[in-house]
Amino acid sequence: MRVLGFGTNLLVSDEGVRGAVIKLQEQDFGKSRFNDDYLTVGAGAGLNKVVLDCVRKGLSGLEALTGIPGSVGGAIRMNAGGNFGDIGTSVHSVTLMDADGKIFEKSKPELVFDYRWTNITAKFVLDAKITLAESDKEQMLRTLKEVWIYKKNSQPLNIRSAGCVFKNPRGLSAGALIDRAGLKGLQIGAAQVSEKHANFIIAHKGCKSGDVQRLIEAVRERVKDKFSVELELELDIW
């Protein structure tokens, strides 16, 4: 049994997967409720819409996540974020469900987030309580714009990809290592290392999952040969 968010950080095998794939539909699992202290939001909600809703209400806490595609559930599972911050910083608690259907809550400090990692092991994230603070709307809109421009200038957002392929090794940048190994633009089948950001693999028309997987292995090998660094996947491969 697998849980699907919006699929923005997934590479699914050309053969598909054996078993059930469960998606928390936005219409049932995407509701938001604001109260004085928190936003309670369903895991199926689109992250970008939630960020915008908060800013429009003058509530600060999620602006750093501007432009990150995907669902709230996926963002929590991956602790999505970037140079400006991550979602874990603002999460107060989550409602989880295990594979047997048992529903329970987990709050900080029991709930831990780290770089693209969380200690959530339950199968489903159902919803989250996010801590927000009242703030100046104009200032927040400026931050939103700044984050968006940074993202647009540094990542290939208009071409199909699954986001960053590898985690940054401690103290290093995976993209910079791939770039320094001379791999920008390397293509296998219809999969290509992005010229704009070397940690993105872009999928040209007709691209197969197998093309991406072979390119991932080629990049890994070359980076290991050149820098003795083992790149670890950020992307989830099914």
Binding site for ligand FAD (CB under 6 A): 2-10, 24, 43, 68-71, 73-75, 77-78, 80-82, 124-125, 155, 157, 161-163, 236
CB of 47 to ligand FAD, least distance (A): 7
CB 40 to ligand FAD: min, Å = 15
In three-state secondary structure terms, 100 is: coil
| Closest distance to ligand FAD from the beta carbon of 226 (Å) | 26
Owner of token pair 């794939």: 21
User: Can you point out the beta strands (E) in 24-140?
Assistant: 32-34, 38-42, 59-60, 81-82, 85-86, 91-97, 103-107, 113-114, 117-118, 124-131, 133-134
Query: How many DSSP H helices and E strands does the chain contain?
Result: 6, 18
CA torsion angle for 200, 14, 10, 182 (degrees, to 10)? -20
Residue 138 contacts by C-beta under 8 Å, 6 or more apart in sequence? none
C-beta of 60 vs 161, nearer to ligand FAD: 161
| Closest CB to ligand FAD among residues 4, 229 | 4
Residue placing its CB nearer to ligand FAD in the complex, 81 or 175? 81
Min separation Cβ 181 and ligand FAD, Å = 22
Cβ distance to ligand FAD smaller for residue 43 or 140: 43
